[in-house]
Structure 1
Amino acid sequence: MENKKYTLITGASSGLGREFSIQCAGMGMNIIMIALPGSNTVSLADHLMLEFGIQISVFEFDMTDSILLVEKLNYINEHFEIDFLINNAGIGGTVAITESPLTAIDRILQVNIRSMVLITQILLPGLLRQEKGHILNISSMAAFTPIAYKTVYPASKAFISSFSLGLREELSPTNLSVSVVYPGPIMTNSGVSARIIGQGMKGRIGLLATSEIARIALRQCLAGKAVIIPGFWNKINHRIMGILPVETKLKIVSKAVKKEMAIK
């Protein structure tokens, strides 16, 4: 019987989103890929459809355009049955708050928080109609502590964590399971990779390949696990950070970030 269900992935064309697309395709899932214009998403979709014999629909637009986002989501609701939502799109930045353009701050809030909540809320009725559904939200190890010079990013990831776990409890009587994953450092692009390498061994602790993070996140999400922390060292780091006072871990992590900024 032909599979008519779809998995929707935001930020689907690069980094962790690309890996989610590849691995979901390999699992036989039909996919809706949402990505920015000019991100070569159609080429990737064509390759995956040819290789795995699945169906993929591509939507390239800027999710910070809320009117367009709602319009696209309404169209998706009308034409597709979504049983798996992966809220992967996210952006960050390392800069003193006084030196950050307002547009950059607003973009982090729009993508990491507002768009994620809008997508989830609008797609929820369709997800709840499914015999079994899943939502996977991408937070970060940064969610576990405030960080100077990254003030907005970890706060946005803490929001994702709180939102996901609250939503999971709210939906616990239903057949829709919500999971949240907390990746450590990810080499998503050349700039991020250079900063991770520049930190030496300390920067590479907890570093996993994007393919491994995606594999762990998908497996545990589909098994219904609430909190997903990929990698042994990230689990250890989470335990240590849970013991340390907020002031202590704030100073430790912020000092490392300040040093990273001096290297750039």
Structure 2
Amino acid sequence: MKSIRYTLITGASSGLGREFSVQCATMGMNIIMIALPGSNMASIAQNLAAEYKIATKVFEFDITDSILLIEKMNHITENFEVDFLINNAGIGGTASITESSLEAMDRILQVNIRSMVSITQMLLPHLLKHSQSHILNISSMAAFTPIAYKTVYPASKAFISSFSLGLREELQDSNLSVSVVYPGPIMTNSGVSIRIMGQGARGRIGLLATADIVRIALKQTRLNKAVIIPGLWNKINHRLMGILPLGLKLRIVSRAVKKEIAIK
């Protein structure tokens, strides 16, 4: 079992995570899929294994349970060889901070930051053993500016960006390459899709199909690229936001996001 190499994907049951699972399978990569309980991952994994003749393993648990996370990761590192880590699991939300619960904000921090760092740190010794290995962390275009009515989410994505690039520099003399991808708007579920479409043309700027984002991210990660911004408009937007004064871009982005509250 140890001789087989695996790609580990968190948040693998839907959205980008599910697409990462599918595209990795089509590339002949064996995959370990981590998702919440009740995600129907066993059926998805079986179908991928049968169609693409790969090995698949499924672990359904809540990664915010730190004790369970350590237990599951110890099991994985003891029984499987992982040479590609995709830290995809993430959550967000749009609401006034005065109307957000402490539990909701803490869960964003636990999923987007603490669990991502813990999984990465626990896997690092095993990733470094290989002649070539990769880490792909999922940030967001939201990482490039603070945003009112989201507050915690863009801050968590900025953390992922900083953590990833710092880790890449630290490991520059190793065979482990770290990449970070900054997707724009993604229609990950019906609620998000309604809010994006409700913003009209502005909300759809930078919108790419999930399959395109994953294809670009995987290709550029395997080429050892550090910063991955999928889509021409997102690249242009990043340049423009880098030129604008902080106060101005904060107002522009926050006014657009505020509309999401009215659409809910």
Same structural fold, with TM-score higher than 0.5 when normalized by the shorter chain: yes
Q: How many residue pairs align between the two structures?
A: 263
Any idea what the Cα deviations from partners look like across 1:185-222, whole Å, max 9, x if unmatched? 00000000000000000010100000000000000000
Counterpart of 1:114 in 2: which secondary structure? Answer: helix
Counterpart residue identity of residue 209, structure 1: A
Q: 1:166 maps to which residue? A: 166
Identity %, equivalent residues: 77
Counterpart of 2:224 in 1: which secondary structure? Answer: coil
Structure 1: state its 5+ residue gaps.
none
Cα distance in structure 2, aligned partners of 1:131 and 1:28: 19
Q: Please, what TM-score do these two structures have when normalized by structure 2?
A: 0.99
Q: 1:21 maps to which residue? A: 21
Q: How does 1:85-234 map to 2 (within 5 A)?
A: 85-234=85-234
1:261 Cα deviation from its structure 2 partner = 1.1
Counterpart of 1:220 in 2: which secondary structure? Answer: helix
1:3 Cα deviation from its structure 2 partner = 7.0
CA contact (8 A) 1:3 1:30 kept: no
Runs in 1 of length 4+ with deviation above 4 angstroms? none
1:39 correspondence with 2:39 = yes
Cα distance in structure 1, aligned partners of 2:170 and 2:230: 25
Counterpart residue identity of residue 234, structure 1: N
Aligned-residue Cα RMSD (Å) equals 0.9
Q: 2:238 maps to which residue? A: 238
Cα distance in structure 2, aligned partners of 1:31 and 1:92: 26
Counterpart of 1:155 in 2: which secondary structure? Answer: helix
Cα distance in structure 2, aligned partners of 1:126 and 1:260: 42
Q: Please, what TM-score do these two structures have when normalized by structure 1?
A: 0.99
Cα distance in structure 2, aligned partners of 1:147 and 1:93: 12
Cα distance in structure 1, aligned partners of 2:242 and 2:58: 40
CA contact (8 A) 2:10 2:34 kept: yes
